Structure 1
Amino acid sequence: MTDESKAGRPRPRSGRRTDDRNNTGASARAGWLVPAGLIALSAVPVVAGAARLTELAGGAEVTAENARFFAMPLPVVVHILSATLYSVLGAFQFASGLRRRRPGWHRAAGRILVPCGLAVALSGLWMTLFYPRPPGDGELVSGFRLVFGSAMVLSIVLGLAAIRRRDIARHGAWMTRGYAIGLGAGTQVFTHLPWILFLGKPEELTRALLMAAGWVINLAVAEWVIRKRPPRPRRASSGAALGSGVSS
């Protein structure tokens, strides 16, 4: 074989490897968009919660709006801390590449997220039932909080029951719904903001409907995500599910 023929022969393998690496890198970057978006969505509630904790720790002036928190701070402290961890750590459970590469991390994070999610929902239910109602909140707001808080507890419990049966598909669906409800406060920022900017402070009924809209939007997106996922076995094989415990 002459040098000329060698020089003229195409080399497809090198180019194919480069394309594969580029595609893998692009896919990995795209896989982090969802967690980043979820963390961004939770940013305002997380910052507001941190400000509330600073207020309680620093002995700020007691007003009609915050008097209930000073009178009994433990429920709101539990709610803020658990909600912060649940929303931020939970976002990484939606990084598909991380789940595939490190399934042990996914399971370990799930063991933290389940008690955190239950603490978020149960502390929220407690505050709704036993804290004095803040100005602007009426029966309808309280009713929505009780309904969606109870739905969050139910979703997490059903997700936990599913993984103990090694039913991966149902586990993922219920945990996604629970997380969507838990992230409702982030979406409520966007349902309230246009109304406040253009029409002023919402009245009691409007505020209740805007809050409900945040939860409903999140659940609608969650259902779309659940139905868009490719079909997967409902039950994992015994070897794959050993030690799975709690995950989300």
Structure 2
Amino acid sequence: MTEVKSRAGWLVPAGLIALSAVPLLAGGLRLGELAGGADVTPANARFFAAPLPVVAHIVAVSLYTVLGAFQFAPRFRRRRPGWHRGAGRLLVVCGLATALSGIWMTLFYALPAGDEGLLSVFRLGFGSAMAVCVGLGVAAIRRQDVRRHRAWMTRAYAIGLGAGSQFVVLLGWSLFAGTPGEQTRALLLGAAWAVNVVVAEWIIRRRGSGF
């Protein structure tokens, strides 16, 4: 029975990492493109012109989604409290870097058609919300308020996991309704973030802690 519970405890982290798999792969390909000196095209010119923000974003969000997934394994957390605290400090840095680099790119990169307007509003809104959640999570743990710390960090992780949910939502829409237009795509991407936040709130209220 103990072995079964132990295996079950890894289902959530495994599912979170699986949800992140395609964005992680895409990020790795982008880094390879930048490092390998690929041809500059209208789709990637902004990254070659200013590579630091996108490199920081990819590295930060990759560490954030993978390491963050293990914070949702309660038995692992309890058995290795030192790892939890150490990884948590790194996750704070990665979470803020993810949010702030995403905001910077939205504000200062020359965005391709379809990424302006409503989608930019969503990116700025959710990026700002993620940074605030991380900050509130840090403030809570400094007050020794573990319950609120876990809740705020759960919210931040849900937003940071947005790219994985967005891939699933866009794939589902494309399979059943065809390629979405610019406005529909923006709404779908925003909806994917919103779904993550709703699920996080449900977990927080159901368990009273966010984990």
Could you state the TM-score of these two structures normalised by the residue count of structure 1?
0.83
Query: Contact 1:65–1:135 at 8 Å: present in 2 too?
Result: no
Which has the larger Rg?
A: 1
Please identify, of 115-124 and 189-198, the stretch whose mean Cα deviation from structure 2 is larger.
189-198
Query: Percent of counterpart pairs with the same letter?
Result: 66
> Deviation of residue 133 (structure 1)?
1.1
Unaligned ranges ≥5, structure 2: none
Aligned-partner Cα distance in 2 for 1:141–1:220: 19
Alignment RMSD: 1.4
Aligned-partner Cα distance in 2 for 1:61–1:158: 42
AA at the equivalent of 1:136: G
Q: Match of 1:199?
A: 177
> Deviation of residue 197 (structure 1)?
2.4
Q: Say if 2:155 is the partner of 1:174.
A: no
Aligned-partner Cα distance in 1 for 2:38–2:176: 31
User: Residues 214-225 of structure 1: matches in 2 within 5 Å?
Assistant: 214-225=192-203
Q: Number of residue pairs matched?
A: 211
User: Residues 79-228 of structure 1: matches in 2 within 5 Å?
Assistant: 79-228=57-206
Structure 1 runs, 4 residues or longer, greater than 3 Å off: none
Please identify, of 138-147 and 199-208, the stretch whose mean Cα deviation from structure 2 is larger.
199-208
> Deviation of residue 130 (structure 1)?
0.2
Q: Say if 2:13 is the partner of 1:35.
A: yes
Aligned-partner Cα distance in 1 for 2:209–2:192: 28
> Deviation of residue 199 (structure 1)?
3.1
Aligned-partner Cα distance in 2 for 1:120–1:230: 27
> Deviation of residue 102 (structure 1)?
1.1
Aligned-partner Cα distance in 2 for 1:132–1:41: 29
Could you state the TM-score of these two structures normalised by the residue count of structure 2?
0.97
Taking structure 1 as reference, are residues 188 and 231 closer, same or farther at Cα in structure 2, changes over 3 Å only?
closer
Instruction: List per-residue Cα deviations over 1:13-43 (Å, max 9, x = no partner).
Output: xxxxxxxxxx211111110000000000000
**What secondary structure sits across from 2:71 in the alignment?**
helix
Q: Say if 2:52 is the partner of 1:74.
A: yes
Instruction: List per-residue Cα deviations over 1:93-149 (Å, max 9, x = no partner).
Output: 000001111111110110110000000000000000000011222300000000000
> Deviation of residue 196 (structure 1)?
1.9
> Deviation of residue 230 (structure 1)?
5.0
